[in-house]
Structure 1
Amino acid sequence: MFVAIRFDSVACMLLAFVIMQIAASVYRPAVQSSLPAVVKPADLLKANGIFLNVDTLQRIGGTALGGIMVATLDLFTLYALSLVFYILLVFCTVLMDIPESEQSATTKGGKLRFREVFPLIRSEPSVLIAMVNTAVLLLFLTGFNLLILNFSELQQAPDLMGWLYAVEGLSIMFFAAIAKRWIGSKNLVTGSILFMFLFAVSFVGMSFSESRLLVILSFGIFGCAFAFFFPMITTIYQLKLPDEARGRFFSFKSMMDRIMNHIALLVTGACLDWIGISAYMIILAVMASLSGAITFGIAKKKSIEVRQQLTGTVSV
């Protein structure tokens, strides 16, 4: 970026953004696959909730702080400060010591191939159920900013955008902090599926797009469901997949999410133009309900259970 700023080069700027995206695509899978190595199984849900809170803080606070810094500092100074903090972060990362599990050490000689992840996913119904439900929610999550902008324009209330971001973010942070206490040793599979119906309720509320109160309340409900659902499914992945497969799986999932994000963004934009936001939210509610009902039936029929015991052991 320094080269792009110095020479006003669009090509260098695009190259820098590509490198940033490559780094970002490695970061999240690395964190999610490393958590089980440094956290006891009984604390995985809590750790995933904390990670979600940190992610929410950086998304909301980082955007606000970034806007202030862009308005008050020149780009060169801004990227220079970013570089200093990245160097400090790399230094702290080098000092970290992540213990290697016995299972990972024994399989180190024969590393898992990327294509071997697919049989693992098929052999674990709980993982497959979590991935299917997540794919449905990506339709909303990908177009999140676009939908908020649409609500704001429809109600001709620019301040509504700030309220929706604040309510959704605060709701996520509050409920993610108490997720483990509420869930305890309950079945994570059926628990995560039931929250699909809460997502559907929030989408129905958002379909009343001209009601300011209902839209704000619905975003709060969405934040609540989000705060429980995503730590639960991440914990399912971490508990059900073997140590040597987690890194490959989370990398594969990150790649699939990015591909689906582009498709979902196109679908969201097209639906908002063709059928309007109210009808689109009803469609999302129906899809979330159907996905929840189908996967709940499968989970009950096959008696799929993934539980996190409070004593530190995992019951599956």
Structure 2
Amino acid sequence: MRSLNSEKQSALNTSKSTLKKEAKNGYLEPSFTPEESLKSKNNGNGNYGKQTDQTPPNNAPSSPSNMQLEEEEERGFLPVFRNQNFLVLWSGQVFSQLADKVYLVLMIALISTRFQQPDQSISGWVSAVMIAFTIPAVLFGAGAGVYVDRWPKKIVLVLTNLLRGGFVLAVPLILWFSDGISLGSLPLGFCLLLTITFLVSTLTQFFAPAEQTVIPLIVERNHLLSANSLYTTTMMASVIIGFAVGEPLLAIADKFFENMGWGLDIGKELIVGGAYAIAGLLLLGIKVKEKRNFQAESPHILDDLREGIQYLNDHHKVRNALIQLIILFSIFAALAVLAVRLAEIIPSLKSSQFGFLLAAAGVGMGIGAALLGQLGHRLSHSQLALVGSIGLASCLMGLALFGQQLVSALILIIVLGLCAAVVGIPMQTTIQAETPEQMRGKVFGLQNNAVNIALSLPLALAGVAETYVGISAVFVGLAAMASLGGVLTWYITRREFKQ
């Protein structure tokens, strides 16, 4: 018996030694759970973690051979597709995000047919809609995440979609009621459209952190990278498809109802509002296992915000991933502005065709997300972020030197999108995996708020910088920012892991 116990202890020590070596070499992320991390971070004051049981995590590997077998059999998209709850969430995401993109096309169509004068530019009308769509993201992004933590996630997912669908479906009635009435110098109908846009965007601020929070609740930790890859692929596809087919899709809907002979011009609104409603109905079928008593906790919203900020301050891996995402979105916001100028200086393009360049970035991100879902587990998240950041910097330098030719510009932008996926998806997965359930809404709310600000500032600054220093210099500056962010995140992660 003593000999048998000795052999078991020896095998256990060998297993631990092997796992430590693999983690040290960067093949594995640290295997502790978010709750264990909180227990080690809060110094016993109980601010973050509330769990007191000492039950070991279910995903702790029993031996290196079992772990390697699981890695070979369970990686990739197949286990994610077998997860019925994730399939329901993904289906809802498809309809919801398509509706988000086509909604802006709908607003432009309504403005051009009802409010724009023949000799008037549409830019001012569209700018007002974009401002109404952006303000809630800046004002309510962080606060919405706090309330998502307090409320059941399924209810948030369902109601935000059904309410958005209801607002859009009410547009024809509102325009009919306000026809011919003015509010000062503006038509009342246009003011009501701005109000609906504001409300739809406000509900989106609740839906986004709820959706991100649910993913780690229904997907196992070792499948999060694949799930986020599929999530990002769908998001990129919705951007390309939504803006590309939005106008013809709305025209087909109007033509269909015209042929029906009902005399109602509601086809466009039914397409967009119906997509939101379908997303809400689909999400009724999701089963989310949440461990918290939502009625028991009601601290002031500012206390929750401070707790979220303190958590980011104490947990450097999550904070560094957030910083990396902010840098990435800042680069892409600047690229959205610079693409217009880039299309202007490319001989075979017009400035109005800048969408081809942005679509190329979306194609690259889709390819990168698909590759990560199958192969991304072979490197640690910090290593992937470093490789992706170096690739981003190289592509941006390439655009500074060779961006004046169509073929080279398209190739570089596709690879740029691929590298962006290699940075963004692992960083998003890190935030989900390392943040405990009771903190995810706060953290994702702060993330959405920071990302929205990161998207807004480059939109204002990139064009001014290009005017004064030239497009090549701006690309070089963005390349420096990308490489610095990647190296810094990788260095800090490695140093903390060694400590």
Q: Specify the TM-score bucket, using the shorter chain as the normaliser.
A: 0.7 to 0.9
Alpha-carbon separation, structure 1, partners of 2:400 and 2:453? 27
Alpha-carbon separation, structure 1, partners of 2:278 and 2:456? 33
Q: Counterpart of 1:161?
A: 354
Partners of 2:228 and 2:428 within 8 A in 1: yes
Cα separation, partners in 2 of 1:12 and 1:192, compared to 1, 3 Å: same
In structure 1, give the amino acid aligned to 2:292: A
Match of 1:61 among 213, 236, 241: 241
Match of 2:292 among 101, 105, 114: 105
TM-score normalised over the length of structure 2: 0.57
Q: Counterpart of 2:430?
A: 236
In structure 2, give the amino acid aligned to 1:136: I
Match of 2:464 among 270, 278, 282: 270
Q: What is the RMSD of the two structures over their aligned residues, measured on CA atoms? A: 2.4
Shift of 1:262: 1.7
Match of 1:149 among 319, 336, 340: 340
Match of 2:449 among 255, 258, 277: 255
Aligned ranges 1:188-203 → 2 under 5 Å: 188-203=381-396
Q: Which moved more, 1:224-233 or 1:161-170?
A: 161-170
Match of 1:130 among 289, 314, 321: 321
In structure 1, give the amino acid aligned to 2:310: P
Cα separation, partners in 2 of 1:254 and 1:171, compared to 1, 3 Å: same
Structure of greater Rg: 2
Percent same amino acid at aligned positions?
19
Cα separation, partners in 2 of 1:236 and 1:304, compared to 1, 3 Å: farther
Match of 1:18 among 198, 208, 221: 198
- Whether 1:176 aligns to 2:346 is no
Shift of 1:241: 0.6
Cα separation, partners in 2 of 1:3 and 1:256, compared to 1, 3 Å: farther
Shift of 1:124: 1.3
Q: Counterpart of 2:13?
A: none
Match of 1:5 among 169, 175, 199: 175
Secondary structure of 2:284's aligned partner: helix
Secondary structure of 1:18's aligned partner: helix
Secondary structure of 2:239's aligned partner: helix
Match of 1:30 among 206, 210, 213: 210
Q: Counterpart of 1:89?
A: 279
Q: Which moved more, 1:112-121 or 1:11-20?
A: 112-121
Shift of 1:283: 0.6
- Whether 1:79 aligns to 2:259 is no
In structure 1, give the amino acid aligned to 2:483: S
TM-score normalised over the length of structure 1: 0.87
How far does the alpha carbon of each residue in 1:211-230 deviate from its partner, in whole angstroms, 9 at most, with x for none?
22321121111111122221
- Whether 1:50 aligns to 2:220 is no
Q: Counterpart of 1:214?
A: 408
Aligned residues: 302
Match of 2:380 among 163, 187, 190: 187
Partners of 2:385 and 2:422 within 8 A in 1: yes
Cα separation, partners in 2 of 1:304 and 1:21, compared to 1, 3 Å: farther
Cα separation, partners in 2 of 1:116 and 1:28, compared to 1, 3 Å: same
